[in-house]
Amino acid sequence: MAAAIFGGMWDLLLTDANLATMRGGRYGAIERGAVGIAGGRIAYAGPAGELPDAPGRLAREVESLDGRWVTPGLIDCHTHLVYGGNRAREFEQRLQGATYEDIARAGGGIVSTVRATRDASETRLAQDAAARLRRLMDDGVTTVEIKSGYGLDTPTEIKMLRVARLLGELTGVDVRTTFLGAHALPPEYAGRADAYIDLVCGEMLPAVAAAQLADAVDVFCERIAFSPEQTARVFDRAAALGLPVKLHADQLSDSGGAALAARFHALSAEHLEFTSEEGVRAMAGAGTVAVLLPGAFYFLRETRLPPIDALRAAGVPIAVATDCNPGSSPLTSMLLALNMACTLFRLTPEEALAGATAHAAQALGLGASHGTLEVGKAADLVAWDIESPAELAYAMGANPRHATWKRGVRAP
């Protein structure tokens, strides 16, 4: 069956492996399994005992994994990986009592990263972001989403998105870019938020779309950022340009962000600490993925939990991501994000792993090609030195990665 899809011999056959296929968002475990790879895609993922022929006759190269577990490559579906400088000083201020919102209102926060990002060269931004991306790759990330949003003017937003695309070319990681021009109000537009949204819709979005630099469009809908009405204007423009949308929704207050995202059939709504049951129902109806960001919850010492039980009950797919950014989540480990999702949000290790694979793919519109071990999907795989998949979310600071294959090729 599998051989017929690609014809001829497979390039590689991994044997003596236990598979967490993550089909349907469950472990879908297959013990004593095998994975066949041809042309960068999965040609077989199933029990070794049901392979259609002897391994040596099926593939040019056969490798035993000595009983290790294989999962889909991890997908970090929400990051702000490209930025200038850092915000360690702000971290100190918060520890002395200032809140994230206080700092933002006083002209620090996101806007201070905007200054550093405007000043940084493309090379410097790429070097710094590549170092962060290598840390994500170290613990098994093969696909990453990267948002703009620290430029807040057309040239710098474009510079960030170009750097994000370059990172994909340099590392082989699949990079999905998201335009987040409506992340904060730049100082030169103080008191003129609607005029800034005019610039986002009239100049930035068309320029970014024409240069094919964005795969999706995001907005920070929050009382310290943009209103639901301003968000809707950006989403209307994105729809007119044929770009899917995502939303930073209900992170610090309930502004009806989840329902707004659902109204625009957003791929995902993200953060969601203050989302109401009504918002959850709207997401379920629209097929919008909930992206949970436990790193930001932890780092900002938030106390209000996202509505996990309501999301589960409504059948909303839940993804987990690092939200890697200098202000609210300087986190470059997906495995630690999984641990935090379990410890802080009470996800099960199975839900957390689905959140970094099958559901993360869905949040990026890549559900048909990534995120599970299934015939025809990208051969993005990680082999782990673990005895059960729950260990991926369990251990803190450990890195049991044995090997990564990106599109069937062994990655460093």
- In the complex, the residues that contact ligand NIG under the rule CB under 6 A are 80, 109-110, 113, 220, 248, 251, 296, 323, 325-329
Residue with the closest Cβ to ligand NIG? 327
Nearer to ligand NIG, 69 or 226 (CB): 226
Q: Could you tell me if 373 and 72 are in contact, meaning their C-beta atoms sit under 8 angstroms apart?
A: yes
Nearer to Fe ion, 302 or 323 (CB): 323
Nearer to ligand NIG, 97 or 315 (CB): 97
Q: Does 222 bind Fe ion (CB under 5 A)?
A: no
* Nearest distance from C-beta of residue 325 to Fe ion, angstroms: 6
Residue 109 interacting partner from Fe ion, ligand NIG, none (CB closer than 5 to 8 Å by kind): ligand NIG
* Nearest distance from C-beta of residue 305 to ligand NIG, angstroms: 16
What x-and-dash track marks residues 272-311 binding Fe ion by CB under 5 A? ----------------------------------------
* Nearest distance from C-beta of residue 300 to Fe ion, angstroms: 12
Alpha-carbon separation of residue 360 from 98, 127, 184, 262 (angstroms): 33, 26, 25, 17
Reading the block at residue 110, the tokens are 């996101």
Helix, strand, coil percent values for the chain (each to nearest 5): 40, 25, 35
Nearer to ligand NIG, 215 or 250 (CB): 250
* Nearest distance from C-beta of residue 403 to Fe ion, angstroms: 30
- The dihedral through the CA atoms of 40, 366, 251, 185 has a sign that is positive
Residue with the closest Cβ to Fe ion? 323
Beta-ladder partners of 33: 17, 47
Residue 327 interacting partner from Fe ion, ligand NIG, none (CB closer than 5 to 8 Å by kind): ligand NIG
* Nearest distance from C-beta of residue 172 to Fe ion, angstroms: 24
Q: Could you tell me if 377 and 42 are in contact, meaning their C-beta atoms sit under 8 angstroms apart?
A: yes
Query: Which residue in this structure is represented by tokens 């964005």?
Result: 214
Task: Count, in order, helices (H) and strands (E) of the chain.
Answer: 18, 16
Note the maximum CA span of the chain.
70
Nearer to ligand NIG, 3 or 204 (CB): 204
* Nearest distance from C-beta of residue 325 to ligand NIG, angstroms: 4
> Which stretches does DSSP call E strand in 39-173?
41-47, 59-64, 69-72, 74-76, 141-147
Is 17 buried (19+), middle (13-18) or exposed (0-12) by CB count in 10 A?
buried
Secondary structure class of 21 (helix, strand, coil): coil
Nearer to ligand NIG, 86 or 154 (CB): 86
Nearer to ligand NIG, 5 or 344 (CB): 344
Nearer to ligand NIG, 13 or 290 (CB): 290
Residue 231 interacting partner from ligand NIG, Fe ion, none (CB closer than 5 to 8 Å by kind): none
Measured CA to CA, the distance from residue 89 to residue 108 in angstroms comes to 10
Stretch in the footprint of Fe ion (CB under 5 A) among 127-135, 165-173, 258-266, 322-330: 322-330
Closest CA to 179 of 143, 148, 144, 202: 148
- Non-local CB neighbours of 258 within 8 Å, separated by 6+ positions: 247, 249, 250, 269, 272, 275, 276, 279, 280, 282, 283, 288
Stretch in the footprint of Fe ion (CB under 5 A) among 26-34, 62-70, 321-329, 359-367: 321-329
Measured CA to CA, the distance from residue 183 to residue 315 in angstroms comes to 29
Reading the block at residue 282, the tokens are 């709207």
* Nearest distance from C-beta of residue 28 to ligand NIG, angstroms: 31
Measured CA to CA, the distance from residue 126 to residue 388 in angstroms comes to 36
Nearer to Fe ion, 76 or 323 (CB): 323
- Non-local CB neighbours of 97 within 8 Å, separated by 6+ positions: none
Please count the residues of the chain: 412
* Nearest distance from C-beta of residue 38 to ligand NIG, angstroms: 39
Residue 328 interacting partner from ligand NIG, Fe ion, none (CB closer than 5 to 8 Å by kind): ligand NIG
Of the residues 63, 157, 302, 323, which one makes contact with Fe ion according to CB under 5 A: 323
Residue 372 interacting partner from ligand NIG, Fe ion, none (CB closer than 5 to 8 Å by kind): none
* Nearest distance from C-beta of residue 100 to Fe ion, angstroms: 12
* Nearest distance from C-beta of residue 67 to ligand NIG, angstroms: 39
Interface residue list for Fe ion (CB under 5 A): 323
